[in-house]
A and B are shown apart, each in its own frame.
Chain A
């Protein structure tokens, strides 16, 4: 069965160095009730950083591109949707 959320974490060097490294802890930081609704993909650069004034790190949650992503921000988003 398809999961409700497909989360793609950008692990391009720019994202990883500018805060994305901490997103590697996302899987173990998810609350129990969200865990089985989420599929996490650790991806090469998703090229979101190439726009002017881009604010890495980036996470793609289904169709939504989150900038300056953090574990807390991702969890908050999942709670609201």
Chain B
């Protein structure tokens, strides 16, 4: 799996969340938040960007996003605002939900990657044949100081120059966020900075993982969540996604205790909702196939469901109507503890958008954020006692964490009901797999269940994970062996 290498930008973000959460726990956030940029990038330390002042400006914007605000909404005079004033605004926001996209771009951090995707390197010999110049359809290559030069304003990134160079001296240089986006929802504005187009974005979080400058942030809900778990009068439920196994190098039982230590009153395994979703989805599949439908696709991945709504609307009738495991688990928790704040804890950013539209979930938290909160609270997960969740799942639902888990569950359940179905897994969304999905009913055999995962490898490779997906997968397999 290509993604999720160690990445300094994400480590710096986790450190900042630790500092933020510490202030929430001591009740000093409003008084001290304006010091955090100084604490994170202290005087005389080495700057990551051009200088410490730029680093601090970026940190300031990260804190604004951590408070849940969209950076795009900043007005010119807001640059002079204190972070404390943003805390006050967040306070007044109450339990109200945030409107708009789950992702936000920090212009100040965006490096405005070059527009033209092709660059001439020093390997250029300035040859006589000059095939790059001769074959450029836009006539945008000239020679300066004996080397080719591409006029970025004219270049259309067709790549012919790179193909014809006998020295391979012209290289393709992607814009990482644009390359990662499966639906062309992130584009450069006139200043070269990236904008997210809300009507196209599916909140998959791939741009956030891809940007080497950490310029894309999720609009976090940790402020609301920390406020709730530190308030003894407010009941809270942590709904933990199946992929949490393996995120903290320890057992599920210890993690359940650790969540309770943080202040969550109840802990529910979302995998229980996955058990239920598998049953409902199987019944739905059988019914649809009996009515002559060729295939049906899963509906548990919110980025995929959003992609269907915004980009491949023609296959909407093929998508299962079964709710996601998160929503079933949230519905159960709502009946069990009316009025409690239900917090989905998972690897996913698209879930935040799904939760906003659902009556069954109030907030979402990523594993990364949870990890930072554990550090701030001084909770060491591995040293906690084992305890049991209020609602537990079977191995069927727990397997939803990795790609193939959903389709295996449905196939087995259908077979137990006397129906033979074929399964197909679309493992990761990109422009190619979206093209396949667009014509999926013409591609697959009849009686097929199609599982679609936006993240390659499944939820264990989501944008909010801590563990390397291979490690998390190993953990899950070990757990399933011990608790079949």
Annotate A22-33 by CB proximity to B: 1 below 8 A, 0 otherwise. Answer: 101100000000
Pick the contact of B371 from A17, A42, A45, A70 — CB < 8 Å?
A17
Please give, as numbers and ranges, the residues of chain A lying within 8 Å of B379 by CB-CB distance: 13
Task: Tell me the chain A residues, 5-22 only, with Cβ under 8 Å from chain B.
Answer: 11-14, 16-19, 21-22
A54 to chain B, nearest CB (A): 12
Tell me whether A37 is interfacial, beta carbon within 8 Å. Answer: no
Q: Give the distance in Å from the alpha carbon of A11 to the alpha carbon of B247 in the complex.
A: 11
Annotate B253-275 by CB proximity to A: 1 below 8 A, 0 otherwise. Answer: 00000100000000000000000
Pick the contact of A21 from B375, B383, B466 — CB < 8 Å?
B466
**A13 & B471 in contact (Cβ 8 Å cutoff):** no
B38 to chain A, nearest CB (A): 15
Please give, as numbers and ranges, the residues of chain B lying within 8 Å of A24 by CB-CB distance: 249, 467-468, 471
Given A18-B11, A18-B15, A22-B468, also A45-B249 (CB < 8 A): no
**B375 & A14 in contact (Cβ 8 Å cutoff):** yes
Q: Give the distance in Å from the alpha carbon of A42 to the alpha carbon of B214 in the complex.
A: 30
B460 to chain A, nearest CB (A): 12
Please give, as numbers and ranges, the residues of chain A lying within 8 Å of B318 by CB-CB distance: none
Please give, as numbers and ranges, the residues of chain A lying within 8 Å of B115 by CB-CB distance: none
Interface size class of A (residues with CB under 8 A): 10 to 19
Pick the contact of A13 from B5, B11, B15, B380 — CB < 8 Å?
B380
Tell me whether B86 is interfacial, beta carbon within 8 Å. Answer: no
Pick the contact of B11 from A11, A12, A19, A25 — CB < 8 Å?
A19
**A16 & B371 in contact (Cβ 8 Å cutoff):** yes
Residue of A nearest to B250 (CB): A11
Q: Give the distance in Å from the alpha carbon of A11 to the alpha carbon of B477 in the complex.
A: 20
**B375 & A13 in contact (Cβ 8 Å cutoff):** yes
Task: Tell me the chain B residues, 423-469 only, with Cβ under 8 Å from chain A.
Answer: 466-468
Given A24-B249, A70-B6, also A17-B372 (CB < 8 A): yes
Q: Give the distance in Å from the alpha carbon of A45 to the alpha carbon of B468 in the complex.
A: 20
Pairs across A and B, CB under 8 Å, 8 listed: A12-B380, A13-B248, A16-B249, A21-B468, A21-B471, A24-B468, A44-B382, A44-B383
15 more A-B residue pairs beyond the given contacts A13-B248, A18-B14, A21-B466, with a C-beta to C-beta distance below 8 A: A11-B250, A12-B383, A13-B381, A13-B382, A14-B380, A16-B248, A16-B249, A17-B248, A17-B372, A21-B468, A22-B468, A25-B468, A25-B470, A25-B471, A42-B249
Q: Which residues of A contact B (CB under 8 A)?
A: 11-14, 16-19, 21-22, 24-25, 42, 44-45, 70
The 3 A-B pairs of least Cβ separation, nearest first, read A17-B371, A22-B6, A24-B471
